[in-house]
Amino acid sequence: MRILEVIAACLVAATALILLAGRPGGRLARCLAAAALLVLILHAVVEGPHWQMGPVYLAALLLAGAVMTRRAIRARAAGAAGLLLVAAAVICAHVLPMFTLPKPDGPFAVGTRIFSLTDTSRVEPAAHDSSHREVVVQAWYPAQCGQGRAALLRLLLPNWGKAPYRRWKETTLLSSYQRFVWTNACEDGSVQPGGQLPVLLFSPAIDGRRTQSTFLMEELASQGFAVFSIDHPYSTGPVELSDGRVLDTPSNPIEPLGTIGFDRAYAILNNLVEEQTADTRFVLNTLEEWEHDPRNAFYGRLAMDRVGTLGHSLGGSVAAETAVEDSRIRAVFDMSGPLLAQARQSGVPMPFFFMTEHVPLLDAEQLAKLDPDARVDAEMDVADFHVLLPMMAAHGEYYAELPTGSHAVFTDRPAFSRYVRFGGSDLAETARLHTVIDRYAVAFFEQTLESQKSPLLEQQESPFAGVSFRKAGKQGLGNRD
């Protein structure tokens, strides 16, 4: 719980204890109840209200009414109810806390803006009408934040001007609290003056969203990159379109795998990759227009000759495919995304970094023991690595494996909770692995796009505990179990 939430909960609990002792109407009880209401109002303004604190809000109102009564029985009942409500809020805040994103390490403050872009050259195939394809893009970039009057306001209100983790319409009932989780980025901040910024294009997982890896977006922006994270409607979400419509998170199109089967699953994934690659290339074309448009905030600031792609899961596949289809891409950072479509046939012809969680590659005897869904999933893992590793060995690329089996480690989700059902189980390990991802991504793009040689990438062993890192050469990548 955040500081004002803790204070409010303590004041409510103290009021409840006084009432439970059968002392309604006293000056102390009235003062504590009034103080609790005032702190909750301040909490709503400074920190933002959310459902986990709902029981405390209710308890504060209940006790405010109870302190006016002189009936001990009613006061005790209200006190007992108040304590139970505070306990419920503590449990809710423990299971799904108001998590904090790590502060980026780079020298620049971070700004963020959201854009809705319509590709008039393509019809939206999923809309069943003649509407054009629309994508939502969130930019993360070095920014000027907290200047002038805003600096004074930030001293009084630390979250003033900060962007929320998610827009209100893009949350669900359960995740609605994330509207009041604050990023480290100033909302719509002006671009930091200076030279041109290398450009990175990010695509999320098949059921992810553009904000899913904010920890990495902010770190890259703080290091001097302009990162454009893309929501691909009807594949990612929830996402709010320019007309106010909200597209919910779609169901995974390749589940159940055991029913769909190996070949059909790859056909579906290839189609999705092609569609999202077209989205990414459209965004890239739009950025080129912005670079030459004096009316645009990014005018003259985007280094369109220094462009990289990155992505997670299917988004990593999109990052690789975009590089194969578009010669403007100079480097690819793929977070656990198999090579699909053309990339699966030809490989990736420019600097390529593949980072993955630990994925066990099973033999035929082990596969035979699995249920149909798990077996097809494991068969696809084996097929993907049999394609990927020879390609990387031939091109001399980078490979890193993290000491976790969590595919979600490349997202913010493990930080949402201590409980696996809601995200992760070890917050300290999640923070450590996020630092590993940050360091390798920054080093890779600085070396490939900024020509800054990185000692981290020259080491054949990772300095991070448990992380397996290899730079492929003539000896290949070695054994992969």
The backbone region for 231, taken as left when phi is positive above 0, alpha when psi lies in -120 to 50, beta otherwise, is beta
Which 3 state secondary structure label does DSSP give 172? Answer: coil
pLDDT of residue 295 exceeding 50, the answer is yes
**Burial call 256-265: b when 16+ CB within 10 Å, e when fewer:** ebeebeeeeb
Inter-residue contact 167 to 114 (CB < 8 Å) = yes
Q: How far apart are CA 383 and CA 400, in angstroms?
A: 19
- Could you read off the pLDDT of 1-23 as tens digits, one per residue? 899 999 999 999 999 999 888 76
pLDDT of residue 149 exceeding 60, the answer is no
Q: How confident is the model at residue 127 (pLDDT cuts 50, 70, 90)?
A: confident
Inter-residue contact 185 to 163 (CB < 8 Å) = yes
- Measured CA to CA in angstroms, residue 423 lies from 82, 97, 451 at distances of 30, 11, 37
Average pLDDT, the chain: 91
Tokens of 65: 């009414």
Per domain, the residue ranges of the chain are: 3-95, 109-471
Tell me what the mean pLDDT of segment 196-212 comes to: 95
Identify the pLDDT of residue 249.
80
Task: Provide the CB-side half-sphere exposure for 440 (13 A, CA).
Answer: 31
Q: 26 — phi, psi (to 5°)?
A: -75, 160
Provide, rounded to the nearest whole percent, the portion of the chain with pLDDT above 70: 94
Identify the pLDDT of residue 157.
66
Q: How confident is the model at residue 475 (pLDDT cuts 50, 70, 90)?
A: very low
Sorted by sequence, the CB contacts under 8 Å of residue 3 that are 6+ apart come out as none
Q: How confident is the model at residue 480 (pLDDT cuts 50, 70, 90)?
A: low
- Could you read off the pLDDT of 20-31 as tens digits, one per residue? 887 666 788 889
Tell me which of 10-14, 151-155, 162-166 is least confident: 151-155
Identify the pLDDT of residue 129.
73
Q: How confident is the model at residue 126 (pLDDT cuts 50, 70, 90)?
A: confident
Q: How far apart are CA 216 and CA 226, in angstroms?
A: 12
pLDDT of residue 228 exceeding 50, the answer is yes
Identify the pLDDT of residue 479.
54
Task: Quote the radius of gyration of the chain (alpha carbons, Å).
Answer: 25
Tell me which of 249-258, 310-319, 322-331 is least confident: 249-258
- Could you read off the pLDDT of 272-287 as tens digits, one per residue? 999 999 999 999 999 9
- Could you read off the pLDDT of 386-443 as tens digits, one per residue? 999 888 877 778 999 999 999 999 999 999 988 876 667 788 899 999 999 999 999 9
The size of the chain, in residues, is 481
The backbone region for 203, taken as left when phi is positive above 0, alpha when psi lies in -120 to 50, beta otherwise, is beta
Q: How far apart are CA 248 and CA 232, in angstroms?
A: 12
pLDDT of residue 73 exceeding 50, the answer is yes
Q: How far apart are CA 11 and CA 7, in angstroms?
A: 6
- Could you read off the pLDDT of 26-72 as tens digits, one per residue? 788 889 999 999 999 999 988 899 999 999 999 999 999 888 876 77
Which 3 state secondary structure label does DSSP give 51? Answer: helix
Q: How far apart are CA 231 and CA 234, in angstroms?
A: 9
Question: Which is nearest to 333 in space by CA: 381, 397, 395, 411?
Answer: 397
Inter-residue contact 189 to 114 (CB < 8 Å) = no
Tell me what the mean pLDDT of segment 172-181 comes to: 93
Tokens of 309: 């792609």
Inter-residue contact 250 to 234 (CB < 8 Å) = yes
Identify the pLDDT of residue 153.
57
CB atoms within 10 A of CB 459: 12
CA 217, 218, 224, 230 torsion-angle sign:
positive
Identify the pLDDT of residue 207.
86
Identify the pLDDT of residue 394.
76
Tell me what the mean pLDDT of segment 252-279 comes to: 94
DSSP letter at 327 equals T
Looking at domain 109-471, which CATH architecture does it have? Answer: 3-Layer(aba) Sandwich (3.40)
Identify the pLDDT of residue 219.
98
Q: How far apart are CA 280 and CA 269, in angstroms?
A: 16
Identify the pLDDT of residue 265.
94
Q: How far apart are CA 14 and CA 16, in angstroms?
A: 5
Question: Which is nearest to 114 in space by CA: 140, 143, 146, 133?
Answer: 140
Q: How far apart are CA 343 and CA 324, in angstroms?
A: 6
Which has more pLDDT, 323 or 428?
323
Q: Can you give the pTM of this predicted structure?
A: 0.92
